[in-house]
Amino acid sequence: MPKMKSHSGAKKRFRRTGGGKVKFEHAGQRHLMAPLGGKRRRFLRGSSYLNGTDTKTMRRFLPY
């Protein structure tokens, strides 16, 4: 059986952690930040983890 391919878009956006969670960076930080409030900008600054349902999908997209 041939090897599975990783999803190219998912490779660029998500990382698997050692514990099996899926980590991602928030979108919307590249440009047009001026009209956003400070609270919104602070929220977007850090990274987050996917919830359980989406994590299951990403494990299929990123098998290795």
Torsions phi, psi for 15 (to 5 deg): -130, 140
pLDDT score, position 64: 84
pLDDT score, position 2: 92
- A 10 A CB-CB count for 64 gives 8
What number is the average pLDDT over the span 20-45? 93
Q: Is the pLDDT of residue 41 over 90?
A: yes
To which H or E segment does residue 41 belong?
helix 38-45
What number is the average pLDDT over the span 18-35? 93
| 31 — pLDDT class (breaks 50, 70, 90) | very high
